[in-house]
């Protein structure tokens, strides 16, 4: 069976299974890889700069704050965003199904106003719920991290510096959570 990619090769050479796999997967894999790396770079760059200060307690504080923010904030935001993807995909799919059953044509551009705005309403509801659920976590980041770290017997210097770093991370994590939510929603559209 000839592949559509073999038509693109000069001289109409036959592709091996690996070359065909690579041609099919790279358009998806490269943007995904770029997205994951661009989300990780701010954390890595920050740790690199803190590591250049030659102060082990500051590096330990920054690493601990990054770990706490990933576990308590980002993992919850990613989980809630994945629920948003599921709900939006179902809303779009259901609207398309109802549209084709009612009109017996495939002109999706002639959809009703309710069908057009349902995925957008799901985005707004998802973002609202995400912020509602993450607000107590962000308040804990601002006011409760230092006390929590003292309870688990961390050094005093590490407790204070981690709490300061978490306070600085809070606005950025808030924006990143909203960005993650909108990105997940746009993948469905």
Structure tokens at 2: 């000839």
pLDDT in tens, 5-48: 555 555 556 667 777 777 788 777 787 788 778 777 777 888 88
pLDDT in tens, 87-139: 777 777 776 666 666 665 555 555 566 666 777 888 888 889 888 999 999 99
Give the long-range contacts of residues 72-78, CB within 8 A, separation 24 or more: 72/137, 72/140, 72/141, 73/134, 73/137, 73/138, 73/141, 73/173, 73/177, 74/173, 74/176, 74/177, 74/180, 76/133, 76/134, 76/137, 77/130, 77/134, 77/176, 77/177, 77/180, 77/181, 78/180
Q: Is the pTM of this model over 0.75?
A: no
């Amino acid at each position: 069976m000839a592949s559509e990619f073999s038509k693109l090769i000069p001289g109409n050479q036959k592709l091996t299974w690996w070359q065909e796999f690579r041609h099919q997967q790279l358009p998806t894999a490269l943007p995904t890889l770029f997205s994951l790396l661009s989300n990780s770079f701010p954390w890595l760059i920050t740790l690199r700069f803190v590591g250049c200060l030659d102060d082990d307690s500051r590096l330990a504080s920054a690493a601990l704050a990054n770990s706490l923010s990933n576990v308590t904030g980002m993992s919850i935001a990613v989980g809630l965003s994945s629920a948003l993807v599921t709900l939006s995909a179902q809303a779009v799919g259901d609207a398309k199904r109802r549209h084709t059953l009612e009109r017996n044509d495939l002109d999706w551009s002639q959809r009703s106003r309710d069908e057009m705005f349902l995925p957008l309403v799901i985005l707004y509801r998802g973002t609202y719920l995400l912020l509602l659920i993450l607000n107590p976590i962000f308040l804990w980041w601002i006011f409760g991290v230092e006390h929590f770290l003292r309870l688990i017997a961390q050094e005093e210097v590490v407790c204070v510096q981690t709490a300061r770093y978490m306070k600085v991370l809070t606005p950025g994590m808030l924006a990143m959570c909203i960005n993650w939510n909108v990105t997940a929603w746009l993948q469905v559209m």
